[in-house]
Structure 1
Amino acid sequence: MTTLDDTPLDTELHTDASYAASHARSATLHELIDDPRARGRENLRVLTGDRPTGPLHIGHLFATLQSRVAIQDKGIETIVLVADYQVITDRDSVGDVRAATLGQLADYLASGIDPARSTIFAHSAVPEIGQLTLAFLSLVTDAELRRNPTVKDELAATDGRPLSGLLLTYPVHQAADILGVHGTVVPVGRDQLPHVEQTRAIARRFNSRYAAGEEYFRAPDALLTDLPVVPGLDGRKMSTSRGNGISLGMTADETATRIRKARTDSERRITFAPEGRPEVSSMLRIVGLFTGEAPERVADRIGDGGAAALKRELTTVVNDGLAEHRSRRAELAADPAYLESVLRQGNARARELVVRTLDDVHDRIGLRY
């Protein structure tokens, strides 16, 4: 009889060896994606997405949206998940999820994600993902879930509130997202590797326990990104909940007000010193993302102009850089019926894939009546 321990996770998820192995697989994936003549490229299917917890900001633009468009434009099948069910994993008040979902969809389309070439769907529209989650929960242990670094980090961020069952099983739900559509590529940063490794373990365990060794589920690979962690105006990671970000849907005036009110320091000359001057250094980094300059170069250019000159420059480059996106987004947001139609079409496509997967899973488990 196969036990869970017979098929362990690939490695200790936090080790350098684990990262090295994932990095090697990721390098191969990048080569496949970049070479239109590469053999096996046609078998790639990317699964990526976001939780609709609030407006997307420029951190999302530079860290994820632009790379998704690039992958799509290279002809790789891409599925983008609006993870609305995951909004309730760690919060009591979910806010207006529908409005956040449509806003997120508007940003997706404005950034260049094309619903004719990429599938965009919402969790809640595909209930079969929940049924897959139940099956996959039989393939993990409580101890494994509690050791997951991301679960531990997210729990630490909840200010000591009790661990919900949904938060504990969050990695299994993500595995159902990925394997439900037979995703083979998951773009992530290093901090999200544990989720992909958990999904790989679930795929192998399912194949061993329920599929008689057949490789029904292909273990997905992480596509590691070297994209920047975009800092907020206060030096911390940009986050909607912290109020330190610049949302893609802000108006130019709202952006100017947010930047004008941002804290700096009392030093006149602008220098790039992340440890000693986090707020100023974050602003320099954001300017550099839009202009392509190193933050040190931006600091030298502004010099004795001080915080006022830095804020003026930041306001200008952000508003100029987002002008086209915001114009397209405004048009899309003004037509909610179109956004809903895009989501309905994506939901139907994704559900077709997941229903087929669930049927196959039931067949292999023996749940066919």
Structure 2
Amino acid sequence: MTEAPNAPLAAAMARNPALVREISEHPERFRMLTGERPTGRLHVGHYFGTLQNRLRLQDLGVELFVLLADYQVFTDRDISAEIGQNVLECMADYLAIGLDPQRCTIFAHSYVPELNQLMLPFLSLVSVSELQRNPTVKEEIRSSNRPQVNGLMFTYPVHQAADILFCKGNLVPGGKDQLPHVEVTRDIARRFNERFGAGEAYFPEPEILLSNAPLLLGVDGKKMGKSLNNSINLGATAEQTAKLIKGAKTDSIREVTYDPDQRPEVSNLVLLGSLASGQSPEEFAAACADSGGAGLKKAVTEAVNEFFRPIRERRSALLTDPGHLMSVLKTGNEHASGIARQTLTDVRRLMGTDYYPLGNA
């Protein structure tokens, strides 16, 4: 028996078709916050899962804020020495795929202190039990494989609320696993408006744009991950890509078919090839039907290398000038900081903590 979706998920699923239409018809009404933690290089799963959709929304005219959540790296990792290089690599990936600094704001947590300061009043609007039972936090704790978690992990949803609300974001793309975080953000926005707004709906209650993005597995048939050595990085060479795909898991059946339930490893390769070639999985499988595993891997390698060839060329050129990449990030940080300062000023006014005459100090 299939379990019925919970109320927030059911509401989000019911709302999604109309939301998609509204974005298409009136993109100027939406300000979207998205991003990732700079914990390693981005890979093809990121591209087909989230990055491609960012480009689509950017090109539609949605105002886009892309966050490099460097502070959130410390929820479950001790890799501070690598963060700078990871940020540089992410910036190269972003610009190489087509994110346009003239149409989107790319910024980092640690360079927008006013954003992070919003987390303090926001923490007063949620209970400890609400944070403890957040399913996404519980899953992050379970998968972190650490003997104990730090306090930052429990504040993760509230920090995300600050990320979204500092710029009055009203749209967050994501899968079902992100819905609990968005619900916390909606709760915080509503509670702030009720407690401090004096009838003013200062913060919007953001909506989640549920993604239909395909889930790509790693070449080992397991979940694709930055640190699992099972992914094809956006910056991988053609030779590296060929080697990874050649070593991918398949099965003993010669005929190539697309059957994710019964043949997950073969179907994963078919899906990757179809995404890179612009075909449906069924079409890609039919073209390789009599080729066996070796023929399938050859076709997938050719499709992936051809699709990502211009992106890799742009990425390689961008990395020859790290100063330019950091200047783009600096501009984004400054723009985000200006917005965050105004938001924090308004929050102080609404909370009554603007009593100190800063302008006359």
Length-normalised TM-score, structure 1: 0.91
Q: Is contact 2:109–2:116 with CA below 8 Å preserved after alignment?
A: no
CA RMSD of aligned residues (A): 1.7
Higher mean displacement: 167-176 or 41-50 = 41-50
1:182 to 163, 168, 176: 168
1:68-83 correspondence to structure 2 within 5 Å: 68-83=54-69
Q: Counterpart of 1:127?
A: 113
Structure 1 residues 304 and 29, CA, compared in 2 at 3 Å: closer, same or farther?
A: closer
Q: Is contact 1:53–1:94 with CA below 8 Å preserved after alignment?
A: no
1:136-155 correspondence to structure 2 within 5 Å: 136-155=122-141
Letter in 2 for 1:257: K
Q: Counterpart of 2:196?
A: 210
Structure 1 residues 298 and 44, CA, compared in 2 at 3 Å: closer, same or farther?
A: closer
1:39-188 correspondence to structure 2 within 5 Å: 41-159=27-145, 161-188=147-174
Separation (CA, whole Å) in 2 of partners of 1:25 and 1:323: 38
1:183, CA displacement in angstroms?
A: 0.7
1:19-58 correspondence to structure 2 within 5 Å: 19-35=9-25, 38=26, 41-58=27-44
1:234 to 209, 213, 220: 220
Letter in 2 for 1:85: Y
1:26-72 deviations in whole A, cap 9, x for unaligned?
3333222211xx4xx53321111111111111111112111111111
Higher mean displacement: 223-232 or 21-30 = 21-30
1:356, CA displacement in angstroms?
A: 0.8
Letter in 1 for 2:16: S
1:274 aligns with 2:260: yes
1:302-324 deviations in whole A, cap 9, x for unaligned?
23422211111111111001011
Separation (CA, whole Å) in 2 of partners of 1:336 and 1:307: 41
1:251 to 218, 234, 237: 237
Higher mean displacement: 275-284 or 107-116 = 275-284
SS at match of 1:80: strand
Letter in 1 for 2:353: L
Q: Is contact 1:150–1:192 with CA below 8 Å preserved after alignment?
A: yes
Q: Counterpart of 2:320?
A: 334
SS at match of 2:66: strand
Separation (CA, whole Å) in 1 of partners of 2:151 and 2:178: 20
Structure 1 residues 159 and 315, CA, compared in 2 at 3 Å: closer, same or farther?
A: same
Aligned positions, number: 352
1:18 aligns with 2:8: yes
SS at match of 1:303: coil
1:360 aligns with 2:350: no
1:286, CA displacement in angstroms?
A: 0.7
1:322 aligns with 2:305: no
1:160, CA displacement in angstroms?
A: 5.3
Q: Is contact 2:172–2:208 with CA below 8 Å preserved after alignment?
A: yes
Structure 2 gaps of 5+ residues are: 357-361
1:201 aligns with 2:187: yes
1:170, CA displacement in angstroms?
A: 0.3
Structure 1 gaps of 5+ residues are: 1-13
Separation (CA, whole Å) in 1 of partners of 2:18 and 2:286: 39
Length-normalised TM-score, structure 2: 0.93
Q: Is contact 2:33–2:164 with CA below 8 Å preserved after alignment?
A: yes
Structure 1 residues 15 and 280, CA, compared in 2 at 3 Å: closer, same or farther?
A: closer
Q: Is contact 1:234–1:282 with CA below 8 Å preserved after alignment?
A: no
Same amino acid, percent of matched pairs: 50
SS at match of 1:268: coil
SS at match of 1:47: strand
Letter in 1 for 2:206: P
Separation (CA, whole Å) in 2 of partners of 1:277 and 1:141: 45
Q: Counterpart of 1:4?
A: none
Q: Is contact 2:126–2:188 with CA below 8 Å preserved after alignment?
A: yes
Letter in 2 for 1:74: L
Separation (CA, whole Å) in 1 of partners of 2:286 and 2:207: 42
Q: Is contact 1:235–1:278 with CA below 8 Å preserved after alignment?
A: yes
Q: Is contact 1:234–1:278 with CA below 8 Å preserved after alignment?
A: no
Q: Counterpart of 1:264?
A: 250
Higher mean displacement: 247-256 or 262-271 = 262-271
Letter in 1 for 2:13: H
1:262, CA displacement in angstroms?
A: 2.3
Letter in 1 for 2:309: A
1:235-263 deviations in whole A, cap 9, x for unaligned?
23321122221110111111111112223
